[in-house]
Structure 1
Amino acid sequence: MEPYLAEVRLFGGDFAPRGWAFCQGQLLSIAQNTALFSLLGTIYGGDGRTTFALPDLRGRAQMNPGTGPGLPTYRLGQQTGAETNTMNTLDMPNHTHGAALDNANASIKIPALADAAGTTDPTGAIPASGEDSNGAEAKLYSSSDADTTLRSFTAPVSGSVTIDNTGGSQPMNNLQPYTGLNFIICTQGLFPSRS
């Protein structure tokens, strides 16, 4: 079957056969390729007066123009995308980081009363100064193990935790697995009729 003018094919050779050209964005003369220009126009480049361009498919995947369900619109000849992408914080999914404090110290003040104590029940009370029945200063401290708990209190701890940025901001590869083949376009063939 004779190929249609402007038909694009994959070719495993390292040359473009007679009547075909590589799809490498090269400029052609309109005067010498009027039939091909009538099909391509300046979709792929050129000034439209003396030159027009062939599609440039070097290093690019192909897709059908238009709009797929839930996808943006792409037009014929549009080039977009990148081989690599560098993510920033806006590209990352929402997430959290754990933080651990090593050797953190807090200063806790234990309230006490310098005046004379007024109760023998420590529940809900605070340490206070006192005297025994002879008027001597009471011994309020012991080296024995504790057997009760004093009234609880809030000990505010202040400060901040800084989590350093990490990563090297290196671009990530966006390429799917590939095999290099030549795309060629028919420059001499049957003129396609519209059906």
Structure 2
Amino acid sequence: MKKSLVGAGGLITGLLIIITSNLMAMPISINYQGRLREYNQPVSGTRTMNFKIYSSSSSAIPVWASGDVQITVTSGTFSYQLNPTGVDWRSDELWLETTVSGKILSPREKLLAVPYARHSFESENLNATGLMVNANMNRIVNVSTPTAFDDCATKGYVESWLPVGTILMWGGSQSSIPTGWLLCDGSAISRTTYSRLFAAIGTTHGAGDGSTTFNLPNLRDRFIVGAGNSYVVAATGGEATHTLTVSEIPSHSHTASCSTNGAHTHIYSKGQFVNNGQGGSGYGVWAATPYVDTATSSSGDHNHTITIGSTGGNAAHENRPPYYALCYIIKY
């Protein structure tokens, strides 16, 4: 804002600019520029000035004071950076009072806060576990657990719950993996660039080139099984499809039979000789009935060799339960 301040024997025009802030518009400095005239003449030289911020236009106790500072004025213009501390910038009642060479300039100048957001790289890289930023954004409290709804956890605190090396399933595409995560595709990556991940998993999933890289776990097209008594970490196995071998087929047999009803007989006639001698005459004759019917033996039972035809194509069969595919990602 810009405003003229009239004092005994002087005129000062001040321009207040909030120049920087971190996280939710927290001003940390104000560049104060002004023009100073004495008896309507531009001032040149050094002047002792004092700046105070009050919570109202008439309160007696300031919330902040710069103390006496020596400021160089050139052709009636000067600039000085104020660094107020302990000021609640959310207040609508903040007033600046300026003193030049022991003379208080009046009236006080009302300060108007202008929201200004700026990314804070230092707070993003804060790694201390358990540090909490309070709701007023003016203190960090070393507590282990957030207790209020407006507590703000640091990066280190959050990572204590989701440590580097954690593997999750990602619902998006392989090309849209979120920042801070990598696709578990078995890639060899830098041990330096991803030093925190290397410290967490080492060469468990592959040593890369043996010196500068290491491998991510390759979980593409894989189901996960818990490591324990039967499986060690990074063990692999199983098949998507499988063809049974003879030793894998349960022992079994096949039976077959056919009828043995082959027994039958045939009737045929054969001649018979009858000794029909009479009274010692010394000769014989055929009987009046020279033939008799006779049956053949019924021993016609027999066996047949039976061959049972084979079926099946020896193709591999599906070996997986019903599935739904997602991307496995690892935090670095």
Question: Residue 27 of structure 1 aligns with which residue?
Answer: 188
Q: Report SS of the residue matched to 1:38.
A: helix
1:91 Cα deviation (Å)? 2.2
TM-score (norm 1): 0.65
Q: Per the alignment, do residues 90 and 128 of structure 1 end up closer, same or farther by CA in structure 2, a change over 3 Å counting?
A: farther
Q: Report SS of the residue matched to 2:196.
A: helix
Supply the distance in 2 between the matched residues of 1:107 and 1:152 (Cα, whole angstroms).
Answer: 9
Q: Report SS of the residue matched to 1:140.
A: strand
TM-score (norm 2): 0.40
In 1, are the aligned partners of 2:186 and 2:219 still within 8 Å (CA)? yes
Q: Report SS of the residue matched to 1:183.
A: strand
Q: Deviations over 1:79-103 (max 9, x none)?
A: 11111111233322233335466xx
Question: Residue 121 of structure 1 aligns with which residue?
Answer: none
Supply the distance in 1 between the matched residues of 2:291 and 2:172 (Cα, whole angstroms).
Answer: 107
1:156 Cα deviation (Å)? 4.0
In 1, are the aligned partners of 2:227 and 2:233 still within 8 Å (CA)? yes
Aligned residues between the structures: 157
Structure number with greater Rg is 2
Alignment of 1:54 with 2:179, yes or no, is no
Q: Which amino acid aligns with 2:331?
A: C
Question: Residue 176 of structure 1 aligns with which residue?
Answer: 321
Let me know the Cα RMSD of the aligned residues.
3.5
1:56 Cα deviation (Å)? 0.8
Question: Residue 301 of structure 2 aligns with which residue?
Answer: 155
Q: Per the alignment, do residues 98 and 181 of structure 1 end up closer, same or farther by CA in structure 2, a change over 3 Å counting?
A: same
Question: Residue 231 of structure 2 aligns with which residue?
Answer: 74
1:128 Cα deviation (Å)? 11
Which residue of 292, 305, 310 corresponds with 1:165? 310
Question: Residue 108 of structure 2 aligns with which residue?
Answer: none
Question: Residue 90 of structure 1 aligns with which residue?
Answer: 247
Q: Report SS of the residue matched to 1:66.
A: coil
Q: Report SS of the residue matched to 2:293.
A: coil
Higher strand proportion, which one? Answer: 2
Matched-pair identity in %: 30
**Equivalences for 1:116-127 in 2 at 5 Å?**
none
Unaligned regions of 5+ residues in structure 2, if any? 1-157, 275-286
Question: Residue 145 of structure 1 aligns with which residue?
Answer: none
Supply the distance in 2 between the matched residues of 1:21 and 1:80 (Cα, whole angstroms).
Answer: 24
Q: Which amino acid aligns with 2:170?
A: F
Q: Deviations over 1:81-136 (max 9, x none)?
A: 111111233322233335466xx9998797xxxxxxxxxxxxxxxx9977365383
Unaligned regions of 5+ residues in structure 1, if any? 68-72, 111-126, 142-149, 188-195
In 1, are the aligned partners of 2:165 and 2:197 still within 8 Å (CA)? yes
- State the structure with bigger RCO (CA 8 A, min sep 6), 1 or 2: 1
